[in-house]
Amino acid sequence: MRSLFSKLLIVAGLVSAFASMAAGQAESAAVRRAKEIAGILSSGDRDAARRYVQENFAEGMLKRPMEQHLGFFSRVHDQTRGLKLVKVQDEKPAEATYIVQSELTGLYEALWVSVKENAPHKVTGIGLRPPSDAPALKAPANEAEFASRLDAAVKKLAAADAFSGTVLIAKNGDAVYKGAFGEANKDFSVPNRIDTKFNLGSMNKMFTGVAIAQLVEKGKLSYDDPLSKFIPDFPNAEAAKKITIKHLLTHTSGLGGYFSPRFWDKSRANLRTVDDMMALVREDEKDVSFEPGSRWQYSNTGMLVLGKVIEVASGQSYFDYVRENIYKPAGMVNSDTFELDRINKNLAVGYQKRFTDEGIAWSNNIFSHVMRGGPQGGGYSTVEDLLRFDKALRSGKLVSAETFRLLTTPKPEVNSPRYGYGFFAVVDGGPTGHSGGFEGISSDLRMHLASGWTVIVMSNYGGSSGPVWRLAEDLITAMEKK
C-alpha cells in the first residue's frame, strides 16, 4: 500500500502539472481552484480530498456532511480514472467552467467551480456535467466501424468495473450493435446475457403514459378529466378536483414522492398491488406543493395515482392491462413487474459501489428496493424488448402516430417544457424516451425519431449507463455529420 507521503507527492505533482499549463498567463481565482480540484479528482486520494475540503471549502459547503463531498470526489475518479485539462470554457472572477476529458472514456466534461470573491477565494460550489460545445469525435467510416469502436469503449469500461449490463444500438429498427458485459449475479459469478432482464427504474412511466393514451383513444377518459372523477376519496379532495390527467402525466400536479421515512419504515413485502401502493399516497399526499399546472416537479406519486386511474377506467388491474395492451402487441416476451420473492429466471441483481477509506465495497439493492414495481417504476425488461417497444410505437401498433407525437412533445401550457406524457419530450431535435435510476439501477431508452437511431443501455450498476449512451450518441453524431 502506498504511504501517505507518496500519495501527497502524487497529488502535489498533479496539481503542479495542471497549474503549469497556464504559467505566465493571468488567471482568475476560480480557474486556479478548478485546476486544483481537477488534480484531486484525478488522484483518487480520499485523504487529499478530505484535507482540501477542510482547508479550501467555504463555510456553507462545510455544513454538508464530509461523506457527501468525499463521495463526489470518489465517484468522479471511479467514472473517469483521471481528468485531462482541455480548455477554459467560461471564466468570471468568482466562477469558471473548465472543459476536461475523461482518461477512461475519452468523454469531455464541464467542471464548474464557484468561489468567494475575496481572498483566499474559498470554494462555494462545484459540479461536473456534459459540456455544451465538446470537441467532436473522429467520425466512424460506417456502421461496422461504429460498432467496433463502441464495443472497444464499453469493454474498457467493463474491464475497469465501471459498467455491467447490456447495450443495443439500432438504426430504423435493425440492430447495429449488441453487447452484454459484467455479471448479473456476483455471488454466483453469473454473466449478463443479451436477454438478461434488468430493472427499468422509472422507465415504466412510459408504459403508464401509453396506457393512458390508449384509454383516451378508446374514449374511456380525457386528458382534461379531473382526478376526482376516478378517485373520489383521494386524501386531498379539493386538490383532486383541480388535478387533471394531464397534470399527472407531465409531473405538474403538485404531488410529490412517497420515499418518506414512513415508506422506508414499512415492510415493503406488503406492497404488491396498486391499492397496496396507494396506501402510501393516502398517508403522505394530504397537501400539494403548488397549484396544479403552475410549475414542474418530478413526481413518482403522480404516476402511481395514474395506475389507479388506469384500473378504474379499464376495469383491469394495472399489471394485466399493461401485459395485454402493451407487452403482448409489441412482442415484449421478457418484460413484466416481477415479485422479487418469487422464482424469476434471468433477472440481474442490482449493485451499488460504496466508497470508503479502505476502498470500494459492493452492496446489492435487494433490501433497498420494493418487492414489486408499479406504474411509477421498478419493472423489468431487456434491451431487445425495449427495441420492440420502440418499433411498436413508431409503427402505430400501440397508439396512433398523432397520439405518439402528443406523448413525446413539450407541454408548455402546463409548465412542462421538457416532458410530455410519460416521456422525455423531443426538444431541439433531441431524443425522446426515458431513463431509470436507483441504487443498482441505471437504464436508458433514447429514441431519435428524426434520424431513426435507437440507443438502449441497461445496467445493474447504479449510475453507470450515462457514459455508454453518451459514447454511442457522440459517435452517431460524428458519423451523421461527415
**Residues 122 and 249 occupy one common structural domain:** no
The pLDDT score that the predictor gives to residue 218 is 98
The single-letter DSSP state of residue 336 is: B
Distance CA 317, CA 276 (A): 12
Assess if residue 272 is contained within a domain. yes
Q: 223 and 125, same structural domain? A: no
Do 125 and 225 lie in one domain? The reply is no
**Considering the domain boundaries, does residue 443 fall inside one?**
yes
Same domain as 337, residue 241: yes
Both 202 and 115 in one domain: the answer is: no
252 grid coordinates? 405538474
Helices (H) and strands (E) in the chain, counts: 17, 15
Q: Beta-strand (E) ranges in 268-415?
A: 351-356, 359-364, 380-381
Over range 217-223, report the average pLDDT.
98
- CATH number of the CATH domain containing 445: 3.40.710.10
**Position of cell 397537501?**
287
**362 in any annotated domain:** yes
Find the range with the poorest average confidence among 265-269, 303-307, 313-317.
Answer: 265-269
Is 192 domain-assigned?
no
* CA angle in degrees (0–180, nearest 5) for 74-79-83: 85
Q: How many folded domains does the chain comprise?
A: 2
Say whether pLDDT at 333 is over 60. yes
Q: Please indicate, yes or no, if residue 336 is contained in any of the structural domains.
A: yes
Q: Is residue 76 part of a domain?
A: yes
Q: At what angle do helices 46-56 and 66-80 cross, to 10 degrees?
A: 130
Task: Answer whether residue 23 shows pLDDT above 50.
Answer: no
Q: Rounded mean pLDDT of 280-309?
A: 87
- Claim to verify: residue 209 and residue 352 sit in the same structural domain: yes
Rounded Cα–Cα distance for residues 441 and 462 (Å): 5
Q: Is residue 69 part of a domain?
A: yes
Same domain, 117 and 266: no
Q: What percent of the chain has pLDDT over 70?
A: 91
191-217 mean pLDDT: 99
Is 110 in the same domain as 214? no
Q: What is the pLDDT of residues 110-142, one digit of tens each?
A: 999 999 999 999 999 999 999 988 888 899 999
> Is residue 241 in a domain?
yes
Is residue 9 predicted with pLDDT exceeding 50?
no
| pLDDT band at residue 12 using 50, 70 and 90 as cut-offs | very low
On whether both 322 and 465 belong to a single domain, the answer is yes
Residue that finishes a domain, picked among 70, 95, 129: 129
The predicted pLDDT at position 74 comes to 96
Residues spanned by the domain of 24:
4-129
What CA–CA distance (Å, rounded) separates 466 from 151?
Answer: 15
- Look at residue 20 and tell me whether its pLDDT is greater than 70: no
Average pLDDT for 93-99: 95
Question: What share of the chain has pLDDT > 90, as a percent?
Answer: 82
* Beta-strand pair 432-438/441-447: antiparallel
pLDDT computed for residue 135 by the predictor: 84
* DSSP bridge partners of 435: 444
Residue 13 has pLDDT above 50, yes or no: no
**Under a CB-based contact definition with an 8 Å cutoff, are residues 446 and 455 in contact?**
yes
Across the range 273-286, mean pLDDT stands at: 74
- Measure the CA angle with vertex 149, ends 143 and 155; round to 5°: 130
| Section 33-46 average pLDDT | 97
Question: 81, 106, 129 — which closes off a domain?
Answer: 129
pLDDT at 40 over 50: yes
Cell of 385: 424488448
Range with the poorest average pLDDT among 25-39, 155-169, 383-397: 25-39
- Verify that 379 and 462 share a domain, yes or no: yes
Give the range among 168-177, 227-236, 447-456 with minimum mean pLDDT: 227-236
Write down the pTM of the prediction: 0.91
- The residue with cell 469525435 is 137
Choosing from 98, 129, 160, the residue where a domain stops is 129
Mean of pLDDT over the chain: 92
Residue 457 to residue 473: CA distance in whole angstroms: 12
pLDDT at 256: 79
> CB–CB of 442/466 below 8 Å?
yes
- The confidence score (pLDDT) of residue 262 equals 67
Band (pLDDT 50/70/90 cuts) for residue 366 is confident
